[in-house]
Structure 1
Amino acid sequence: MALWKDWRFILGVAAAYVLLYVTFLDKDIFWYIYTAATLFFISISIISEPIDDQQNTNRFMLYGILSGVVLYALFAAGYALLKLMPVSAEGHVSSIYALFSPVFIWHYIVLVLIIIPGEELFFRGFIQKRLGRYMNKWAAMVTAALFYASVFVFSGEWLWMMAALCGGLFWGSLYIWRKSIPMLIISHLIFDLLFVVFLPLA
């Protein structure tokens, strides 16, 4: 079957753009709509593809924690370099934190229990895996990462798109390496906790 005939993939891609567009329309509804959007992502992912888990619990926890720390360190180093360049990264980072960081306790709950697992299930466990049926695994990974970055165009923040691209390439490569969605969820969780809660860059 050709990619353009894969109606679940087409539906998933189209829905992601529509839902992320609505999500970023108003910062006051961001957490409500993104939570609802991610629940849709989880649903279509679970219905369409089995959840890959080719690592035992101890191993995916270890790799997940270590990779999350490594990605945060790379982002921190990249941010330090950006501050030395003519582009104004500090303002963009501060704006992203101010507009979209968790504020209420329920924000943290849905971030940990819904949004982080949902993004990995959808963008790696569904989009990247589905693309792997129609192209080689590395091309599928890069394409999925580009898609992951592109849906954040509606945020209006180019730096968010670049961050999503870097994250997509990193987690997509981990997915190829270990084929473990739980490992990716732990990695994403550790990264977000460091990036958003414990050691924000701005």
Structure 2
Amino acid sequence: MTNTVALVAVGVGSTAQSGKALLDGDRRRLVIGLIAALIGGTLGAVLLLLTPAEAFEALVPFLVAIAAIALLVQPVLRRWATSHAERPWIFVVGLTLICIYGGYFGAGAGIMILALMLVVTSEPLWRAALSKSVFLGVANAVAAVGFMIFGPVDWWAALAMAIGCLLGGWCGPPVVKRLPAGPLRIVVGLCGLGLAVWLAVG
């Protein structure tokens, strides 16, 4: 719960730095994504408040690993996706489910959203990364409200993490926009696999 409260700052930093760039893209997808994130984050928070977080721990490494592998083979998956009829509902359903997970447990949710956007949309990596921060920020924000009211939050730890998250959210979008997309996608995918292994053995 403390981690979720702190992660709200990532969305704040990203939106403050590059939020205007999101409006230059598909605004309809942005609005639908924000609604899906709001619903998903709310459902995830309710689940966490009613059930123990340990109920999800066994699945987390596999979910993160699947998302990381999807990033690594993203060009193949995107070609496959674009060769079929466009199905916008896949983005909506996928984002809602990931945001439920994000509000409930959270580890690796950003990688999952990034993989989803790079596979089922035509967004470039930098815009997908920005959208990821905003969508996850909304899911975390609505979950954080519930945790602030009903759950135990370590406020000093949340403040320390939030400062780092705010700086990362602020600096991240312009840096990602300037880096080569292919190598960066591979690095993120490999880091995601490392996170999956760490979660599995930790």
**By the TM > 0.5 criterion, same fold?**
no
TM-score w.r.t. the length of structure 2 is 0.36
The answer to which structure, 1 or 2, has the higher relative contact order (CA under 8 A, 6+ apart) is 2
Taking structure 1 as the reference length, what is the TM-score of the superposition?
0.36
